[in-house]
Structure formats: structure tokens, C-alpha cells
Amino acid sequence: MTSTRIAVRRGDPRARVDLAVGALAPRLISRDESRAHVALAAAGMMLLGGDSVHLKIEVGEGCVLQLEDVGGTIAYRADGHPSSWTLDARVEVGGTLLWRSLPFVVTDGADVVRRSTIVLAAGATAVIRETLVLGRHGERGGRLASSFTARDPDGPVLLEHLDLDGSTPEPGVLGGHRVLDTVIALGFRPLVSTGDLVLEHPGAIARHLGTETHTSRLDRVCDEWSALPALARNVSGSE
């Protein structure tokens, strides 16, 4: 398995940005001495049955990494060969990771294990958007086992695991919905609305359940929460 790697370190006059292409291809859009804006696209067709995608992210001390997807991810029919998608991210002291990912679609017959792990050093922050979709239009969707783990120097901040199967929806999970849209703030306390979950450690989760992605309210939430950690460092959260 070839990993995709994105690492950002402070530099003068511009940050040092190390990019390695795996199943995903990162492309540098802009940078200054402590901030990098990187686009992420598929290097080939994925996810096919048996594919294994690994993304490693390192945000250096005092740096800001803004990631954006170019096209979402579609998991195709597995035909007995499960695929995997793994994120390992570490944000060093005072760093910020901002990632507005596009929908992750699990089509009929797909079988995917998705794991996301975020490790925050002291004073580090992150805002992550994940949009999980069971099936394309007219489909019920395949199987998805999705986990999200976040830790800071004091221990676990968030531990979640979700098992979904479009062919056998479970009451109390997604029910009749096919879209689970989530924005996760870590390392700071954003302004929240009714229904948002406030974490014990600094952080919060906003969620939307629906049948279509365009009905979600979370574009605004992602914009507002992404601005906060960046503004605290006098750095804009968007281009």
C-alpha cells in the first residue's frame, strides 16, 4: 500500500510542504510562511473492491493546513473484496487542520472500512467535515464501517464507531435517511446551535440527517467553525 502524505512545516519566506502521491494526489494551491492550502484528488478510479487508501497528514507547530477535495469519493461494488480508507493525522503545538471533505458515497454492493484518527498536541485545533452517503440516486447503498478517533494530550476526545448497511437499515441509526453530514470541531469551543453536541474536552459536533446532501445546513456551520481557530492566529480560514 502506497500512502498519500501531506506535511507542513514553518519556513521563511514560505512554509515547507512535503507531498507524496498514493491513491490520492495532493496538489499545492498556495502557501505563506506558516500556512498551506492543498487540494486532494483521486490519482485513479477508486474505491474498487480490494482497494486500500491511506492518507497521512502532519501539521507542524504553529502551522495551518487547509485541505479541500476535488471531487468526492465513490466506493463501488466489492464483489467479495472489501476496501479500506484510512486517515492518520497529527497536529503539532498550536497548529490547525481545516478539511472540508466532499461526499463519501457507498454504492450498492460496496463493502468499506473507513478509519479516521486525529491526534492533537497542546493548543492544536481542527475542523473536519465528513459527509457519508448510502448509495447513488435510486440506490439503497452498501456496507460501511466508519470510525473516528480524536485524542489530545489529556487523552481521548472523541471515539465513534458506526456500522451501516443500506440493504438492512437499522432503526435509531439512519432509519430511512441516506445522508449523514457531520462537522467536527476539536481543540476549541465554537458557537453551537440547538441539537449540536458539545464535547467534554473543547470541541463540538454538528450533524444533519437527510435524503439529499443539498438539504444540509452544515455549509454555514463549517464556514463559521473553520474561521475561529484560524482567526485566533490572525490567519484567514479561507483564500
For 162-174, the pLDDT digits (tens) are: 998 877 765 445 6
Within a 10 A sphere around the Cβ of 104, how many other Cβ atoms?
Answer: 21
Q: Is residue 64 part of a domain?
A: yes
Q: What is the mean pLDDT of residues 106-132?
A: 95
pLDDT (tens digit per residue) in 159-215: 999 998 877 765 445 666 788 999 999 999 999 999 999 999 999 999 998 888 888
Output the pTM of the full model. 0.90
Domain presence at residue 55: yes
Q: In total, how many domains does the chain have? A: 1
Q: 153: exposed, middle or buried (C-beta count within 10 Å: 0-12, 13-18, 19+)?
A: exposed
- Asked if residue 207 is part of any domain, the answer here is yes
> Omega into 156 within 30° of 0, i.e. cis?
no
- Residue 10 belongs to domain spanning: 4-43+50-231
Q: Is residue 192 part of a domain?
A: yes
**In a domain? residue 237:** no
